[in-house]
Amino acid sequence: MSVSLVPHGERESQGARRALVLVVALHLVLLLLMLRDYFADNDLGYHISLARQYA
């Protein structure tokens, strides 16, 4: 038995499903475009270490 705060009639909203697919697709496209310019260098590890230390 699952408990949901969303009424049953609104769970299968086609508009919400399309919006979700659009947002996920947009994020995927932007991620793939970014990978072309991504490069790792020695400085990257330094910034990660600082972020972990001060988090």
The 10s digit of each residue's pLDDT in 1-55 is: 667 777 776 667 788 889 999 999 999 999 998 887 777 666 677 778 888 888 7
| Residue 27, pLDDT score | 97
Q: State if pTM tops 0.75.
A: no
Q: If DSSP states are collapsed to H, E and C, what string results for the chain?
A: CCCCCCCHHHHCCHHHHHHHHHHHHHHHHHHHHHHCCCCCCHHHHHHHHHHHHHC
* CB 24, CB 18: distance < 8 Å: no
